[in-house]
Structure 1
Amino acid sequence: MRDVTPSKLYFDDLKVGQVFYSSEYHVSVDEITEFSMKYDPQPFHMDDRLAKDSIFRGLAASGWHTVSITMNLLVKSLPLAHGIIGTGVEKINWLRPTRPGDILRIKAKITAIDISSAKPDRALMSIHICTLGQDNRTRQELIGKLLVFRVSDCSASP
C-alpha cells in the first residue's frame, strides 16, 4: 500500500460524494479595486461612491475576482498529485456580490469521476464548488471538470 500524503491525491484516492473544505480568505477594498482596475474596470468595482448608485448599492468585487479567489482556495484545499488542471466549466452563477470585508471559503464536492477509456491512467472529475461568505450564504456556485491521474506503477510504493 502506498503512502497518501496531503500533497498528493490521485483519482484512486478520491470518491464521488467526497467533500473538501478550504480555509478562509479575507477580501479587502484595495484588492477589489486593484483587481478591477486591471481586469474588469467598471465603476461599481472600483469606486465606492459611484457603486452606491449602481445595482449593487455599494462596492462589489468582479465575479471574475471571486472566481480567482475560489481557484486560490481550491488549489490549497484539494491537493491533487499533478495540480488542479481544469478542462472546462459547466456552470457558474454569481448569486450575491462579494464585498469588502467578506470572509470567503469554499465547499467542494466531487460529483462524478469518469475514467478515460482511451487513457486509463487519467479521469475527468466533476466538482461542485460553493463559495460561501462569513454569513454562510453562497456568493458563487461553480461546476467544473478537472483532470485527475492514477498513480503510475513507477511511482507506487512497494
Structure 2
Amino acid sequence: MKFDEFTIGDIYKTNEVITDKNDMMEYAEKYDPQYFHLDEEAAKESPFGSLIASGFYSMNAVWANFIRMDVLGRDCLGGLGIDEIKWKVPVRPNDTLVGEYTITDKRLLSDKQRGIVSLGVSIKNQEKQEVLTVKTKILLAV
C-alpha cells in the first residue's frame, strides 16, 4: 500500500503462527546459540524451566506472516530500523502467536515522493499474553 493509504490507528492482524520446536532450534543454532534455545535437558535447569524460542525467532516468524499479507507490497522502500524491542514472556514449542501491527504515526518527507510510517507491533500467544512488542519505521512510496 502507498503511504497515503495508511491512517494512524489502522490495525493489521496476522494469521496464527504455531512455533515449531525444530524450526526454533535450527534458528537458534544458526543465529542465537544459547543453551536454553538448543538443549532441552540444560534448558530445564534454566530460569525458564524448558526450551524457549529466541526472541528474534518469535519476532521474525510473525513478521514473515505479516509480509505475506502483502500490506506493504511493492510500495515498501525498506525498513528504517527498530526503535524498541521488548521481550515479555518466553515463547515455547507449539505456542500459537498472533501479531497486531498498528499504524502509530506517519510523516511525509520533504521530497513529497516518500513517507515514513511508524508501526507498533504486539505479538500475543494463545493465552492472550503479550510475548513481545516492537516499534519500527518503514519507508513507503507516496
- TM-score, normalising length: structure 2: 0.94
Residue matched to 2:112: 120
The 1:99/1:84 distance shift into structure 2, 3 A limit, reads: farther
Matched, 1:136 2:128: yes
CA distance in 2, matches of 1:127, 1:67: 14
Letter aligned with residue 62 of structure 2:
T
1:62 to 54, 59, 71: 54
Relative distance call for 1:94 and 1:49 in structure 2 (3 A) is same
Distance 1:16 1:78 in 2: 18
For residue 78 of structure 1, report the CA deviation from its aligned partner.
5.0
> What's the CA shift string for 1:102-138, capped at 9, x where partnerless?
0111001001010001x21111111000011111111
Larger helix fraction of residues: 2
Q: Counterpart of 1:27 in structure 2: which amino acid?
A: T
CA distance in 2 between counterparts of 1:128 and 1:137 reads: 16
The number of residue pairs the alignment matches comes to 141
User: How much does 1:76 deviate?
Assistant: 2.2
**2:80 corresponds to which of 67, 77, 87:** 87
How far is the alpha carbon of 1:84 from its aligned partner? 6.9
Paired letter, 1:100: P
Structure with the bigger percentage of strand: 2
CA–CA separation in structure 1 for the residues paired with 2:23 and 2:90: 15
- SS of the residue corresponding to residue 57 of structure 1 reads coil
Deviations 1:61-112, CA, capped at 9 Å, x for gaps:
0111112113212212352232472101111000011110101110010010
SS at match of 1:70: helix
- Paired residues of 1:10 and 1:149 also in contact (CA < 8 A): yes
Does residue 101 (structure 1) correspond to residue 94 (structure 2)? The answer is: yes
Kept in 2: contact 1:56–1:97 (CA 8 A): yes
**RMSD of equivalent CA atoms:** 1.3
- Cα distance in 1 for residues equivalent to 2:73 and 2:128: 30
Asked if 2 retains the 8 angstrom alpha-carbon contact of 1:22 and 1:76, the reply is no
**C-alpha distance in 1 between matches for 2:77 and 2:57:** 18
Structure 2: runs of 5+ lacking an equivalent: none
Give the secondary structure class of the aligned counterpart of 2:49. Answer: coil
Q: Which runs of 5+ in 1 are unaligned?
A: 1-8, 151-158
User: Identity across aligned pairs (percent)?
Assistant: 28
Name the SS of the counterpart of 2:73 in structure 1.
coil
